[in-house]
Every structure is written in structure tokens, then in C-alpha cells.
Amino acid sequence: MIKIKLSKNIDVDELVKAINFVSPFIKNIKILSSKAILINIKKEASADDIKKIDEDVTYLSQKFVKIGDCDEILYKNDVIIPKYFDVYKKNDNLIFFTNYQIGFTNKGLFLFEYFDTKFKKFAMTIGAIEKVYPVLITIREYLKTGYIKKTPQATIFCNTIRESIKDIENLDAAICQNSTNLKLKEPEFVLSPSACFHSYIEYQNRNLDKNLILTFKQNVFRNEGRLNFKEKGRLIDYHVREIVFIGDSIFVEKKRHQILKKIITFIEELGLSGRIVVASDSFILPKLQRYRSIQKIDKSKFEVQLNIEENRNIAVASLNLHGKSFSDPFNISVNNVDTVTGCVGFGIQRWILAFISQYGWDVNNWPNIIKEVYIKTKGDK
């Protein structure tokens, strides 16, 4: 066990996310209070391993400082929920996999299609063009996004086998012996960690004649950290309904605001308990902590958070202004003037988990706006 004392201004949640990437010998992390955390180390760790973990965590514990005393709340919907449901309790609507993935069937599948249809409609009513994109991105194009610099730990690389009949023939044995490295090429692709990236790849080196709105449903993949996946709703592979804005800054901010209003109306129609706050992304590297402050000062990221327990919520959507972070590297412009981008991403799995946490799987408990569609679609209760 390693006990780390914390100063009162440390952002404990962000610190814990970073500690997950310190060492494979960390077994689990327990938050004792706002003043200390306890790290359980695996038995096979050596004295040097333990010393290194202690040093690294102590260093990190000095870097993750809170940004302000509290979140800036843009909207809040306080609903009295009589009880919260265990969404992961075994049932015939949710399919569980051992590798931080979930699937849906029956009522779960209905909700997946229901939420995606709603979010797609949000986009289409403001003039979006629908697209279908792949999930693989070449590393060269991925580098342009800047994601590998700011969030390198989340990247999931894709390798292919070396062009050698002998290696191909012996790949099965190599996998069984945990010795595949010498038989695999250097990765050429990554799985998309953010749904909007393919938009910029499609329109790179183009001067558009008008502002653009795109929408699509995309699988995204992120390595959130071995222990972070124990958090409810934290998935390595999930679906996002994305809306992307490309144009001048007034246009992009206006469209984000329009979608924000639609989300608020939708939350109230469903009677969901939650809030919308000015947020920041998680950056596990100490040198990048300044970006969290910049995002909050610029109000470039709004986050929709829905309750999954009485005093706990999960982020189900984000509304982001990128500035020229993507339009410049990908050389995208509209009418040869300064062009910026923005996006709104709805995490479909997370909307379902939050909804079921508040209403359960019994259709009779669901709000009428969804129950009526379900009965009409399925023909029963």
C-alpha cells in the first residue's frame, strides 16, 4: 500500500485518472478523502517498482490543481427520483462483454435507435448533411488532429502482420506465447478516438463556398485506463451521434447554441435529472493542465451530465468550439476567410445508461414520450 497525502486544492478525480497510467503494478486506487488516496500495489512488484510508483504519483499529486471552486452551471434540471436502478443488474436488454464493452437487445436496442433518431433529427432540423464514415485513420492524418500530443494515452493503434509466410503461419503460436511483436508491422492506422476527425479529413485542402453542418453515427475507441473502466459508463468502444459545424465563428457558435436549446427541451420532456456545465477535457500529462483552464475560460466545452445515482452523474454529450485547431492543420476554409469548427457529440450508450438508471427497464415507469413510441413500435408493454 502507498498512501499519498493531498493538498486541499487538488482535483482528485483528474489525478486518479492520471494515476491509472503510472504503472501496470497498480492494483487499485482508493480515495480516502479529499486529503489522501491509497494505492494498492500488486505482490509481484519489486521494491524499486514501488519506489518508482511512489515518486511518480507524488509528482502527479502536485500538478492536478482544481480549476475554480465549483463548476459553472449553465442549466440544471432537479427532478426528484424516488429510486435509482442498478443499470448493470443482469437482464435481457443489455449484453455484457468482458473487455469494457456492452451491447443491446430488446428494450436496449429500442432505446439505442430512439435516442439516435432524436439526435439525428436535431441535426437535420438545422440543415445538416448526413454522412457515413469509417473508423480507421492513417497515423499521418491522425497527427494533424493534435490528439496524439494532448491525449496520447487514449490512442488505440492497429497493427497488421508482416509480409512473411513464415510469420503468418506461426502467428497463432506467437499469440499463445505472448510474443507477437516481432511478427507485426509498425502500426499504420489508429481507431478513431473522436467522431469528428473524418470530417476534417474529407474536406482537407478545400475552400468551401458556404458554411457546412454534417451529422453521422460513428464508433469511437479510447483507452481510458485499465482501472478507469470500472467506472459506470466508461467504455473502450461506443457509439456517438455527431454534429460537426464548419464555418465562421458566428455561425459555429450560433449552431452550438441551437443544439444546446434542443437538448434542454429534450431533457425536460423526458423528466431527466441532470445539468449542463462549462467543462474541460481530461489531460493526464502534467504539462498539459493549462489547457483545462483555457477551455473553461473560453467556455469552449459544454458538457451534458445526467444523474446515474443520487449524488453521481455521467457525461452524456459535449458541445465544443475548436477555434482553428482543425481548420488550419487540414487547410479548410469557407469563402477564403478565417474558418473555425465545432462539434456536438451524443454518447448513445451513456444516454441509455443514464435513462435506465433513473427509470429502470419497466416500460410502465417510462415517461409517456418514450413509452408511447415503444408500444407503437413493439406492439406490447
Grade residue 380 by pLDDT with cuts at 50, 70 and 90: low
pLDDT in tens, 339-353: 999 999 999 999 999
Of 66 and 341, which is predicted with more confidence? 341
| Same fold yes or no, 2-60 and 72-134+201-378 | no
Query: Domain ranges in the chain?
Result: 2-60, 72-134+201-378
* Percent of the chain topping pLDDT 90: 56
Q: What are φ and ψ of residue 189, in 5° steps?
A: -130, 160
Mean pLDDT calculated for residue range 116-142? 97
Name the CATH code of domain 2-60 (choices 3.40.50, 2.40.160, 3.40.630, 3.30.70): 3.30.70
Q: Determine which helix (DSSP H) or strand (DSSP E) holds 112, and give its type and residue range.
A: helix 107-124
- Is the CB of residue 62 less than 8 Å from the CB of residue 52? no
pLDDT in tens, 287-303: 767 667 777 788 899 99
pLDDT of 381 higher than 50: no
Cα–chain center distance at 313: 14
Grade residue 132 by pLDDT with cuts at 50, 70 and 90: very high
pLDDT of 328 higher than 70: yes
By C-alpha distance, which of 237, 232, 33 is closest to 135? 237
**How high does pLDDT run on average in the chain?**
90
Mean pLDDT calculated for residue range 193-206? 96
pLDDT of 7 higher than 70: yes
pLDDT given at position 69: 65
Mean pLDDT calculated for residue range 177-192? 85
Mean pLDDT calculated for residue range 145-164? 89
Beta-bridged to residue 183, according to DSSP, are: none
194/242 Cα distance (integer angstroms) = 9
Lowest mean pLDDT among 153-162, 211-220, 256-265, 279-288: 279-288
Of 252 and 176, which is predicted with more confidence? 252
pLDDT of 29 higher than 70: yes
332-334 and 206-208 strand pairing? parallel
pLDDT of 34 higher than 70: no
By C-alpha distance, which of 186, 233, 181, 201 is closest to 350? 233
pLDDT in tens, 252-301: 999 999 999 999 999 999 999 999 999 887 776 767 676 677 777 888 99
Question: May I ask the CATH class of domain 72-134+201-378?
Answer: alpha beta
The secondary structure of 123-148 as a DSSP string is HHTTTPEE----SEEEHHHHHHHTHH
* Percent of the chain topping pLDDT 70: 97
pLDDT given at position 285: 76
pLDDT of 91 higher than 80: yes
pLDDT given at position 161: 85
By C-alpha distance, which of 286, 220, 282, 210 is closest to 58? 286
